[in-house]
């Protein structure tokens, strides 16, 4: 699973062969310039999800599965509001499911309601970017008590109807236990290799962002290569001789 945030990035991950494309709220940082995922709005998530879906070129049956994030405060303020938010993303784009974070009782109620409504839901445990002010970006579930709690939450997400789950920045041994404990796919990011699948932020893999998380190193210096190519073009233009000055044509004689 790879992320995409516009038509261009969607075409790249489709051609690369991604099975699932996540329109993550990470686009708040990658595309919109925010320092966290919190400011992105539902309207912006819809706009970017529509752009991603337009970026695919294969026939619909051969396109990657598209899952889009429900942004902060779109599902934490009541069941009806959550259904309306998720329904907006599903109804007005080609996304096939939504992803939301956490497994608190209120979130589980939202998941159950969405699934009953016919909206597939992907869960998300471990490091929760929408809870950055309380959890930070550090690795989660490092002690036995928090690990048992995460295992319980994972089971609750499955029982609530999630079709898959993202497990972010937790010990690899714990990720393996979660995978063995559940029947639904566990997709890791910074959670080791003992998962059913892996997800990464495409901009991090391409080296387009100024820095990458330790569990997702860049596969190329995309930022450096891009700057070099653009600078080369600019240098070429600045070194071009000015166009010759053409003297104005003499005026037509009057009869």
Domain spanning 2-239 has what CATH number?
Answer: 3.20.20.60
Catalytic-role residue among 101, 156, 158, 168 = 168
Average pLDDT over every residue of 223-252: 88
Give pLDDT tens digits for 22-45: 999 999 999 999 999 999 999 999
For 179-205, what is each residue's pLDDT tens digit?
999 999 999 999 999 999 999 999 999
pTM of this prediction?
Answer: 0.92
Q: What pLDDT, on a 0 to 100 scale, did the predictor assign at position 212?
A: 86
Establish whether 62 is a catalytic residue. no
Give the CA diameter of the chain: 102
* Phi, psi angles (nearest 5°) of residue 119: -105, 115
- Compute φ and ψ for 164, nearest 5 degrees: -165, 170
Alpha-carbon span 246 to 248, nearest angstrom: 6
- Residue spans of the domains in the chain: they are 2-239
Alpha-carbon gap, residue 195 to 186, rounded angstroms: 6
DSSP state of 131: G
């Amino acid at each position: 699973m790879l992320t995409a945030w516009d038509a261009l990035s969607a075409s790249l991950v489709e051609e690369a062969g991604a099975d699932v494309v996540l329109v993550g709220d990470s686009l708040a940082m990658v595309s919109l310039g925010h320092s966290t995922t919190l400011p992105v709005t539902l309207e912006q998530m819809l706009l970017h999800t529509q752009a991603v879906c337009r970026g695919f070129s294969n026939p619909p049956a051969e396109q990657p599965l598209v899952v889009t994030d429900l942004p902060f405060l779109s599902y934490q303020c009541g069941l009806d509001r959550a259904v309306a938010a998720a329904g907006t993303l599903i109804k007005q784009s080609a996304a096939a499911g939504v992803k939301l974070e956490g497994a608190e009782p209120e979130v589980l109620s939202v998941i159950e309601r969405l699934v009953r409504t016919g909206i597939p839901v992907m869960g998300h445990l471990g490091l929760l970017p929408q809870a950055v002010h309380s959890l930070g970006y550090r690795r989660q579930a490092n002690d036995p008590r928090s690990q048992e709690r995460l295992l319980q939450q994972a089971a609750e997400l499955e029982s609530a109807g999630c079709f898959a789950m993202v497990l972010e920045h937790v010990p690899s041994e714990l990720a393996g236990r979660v995978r063995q404990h559940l029947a639904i796919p566990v997709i890791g990011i910074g959670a080791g290799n003992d998962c059913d699948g892996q997800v990464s932020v495409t901009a991090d893999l391409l080296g387009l962002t100024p820095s990458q998380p330790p569990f997702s190193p860049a596969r190329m210096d995309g930022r450096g290569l891009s700057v070099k190519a653009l600078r080369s073009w600019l240098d070429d233009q600045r070194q071009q001789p000015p166009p010759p000055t053409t003297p104005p044509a003499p005026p037509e004689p009057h009869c």
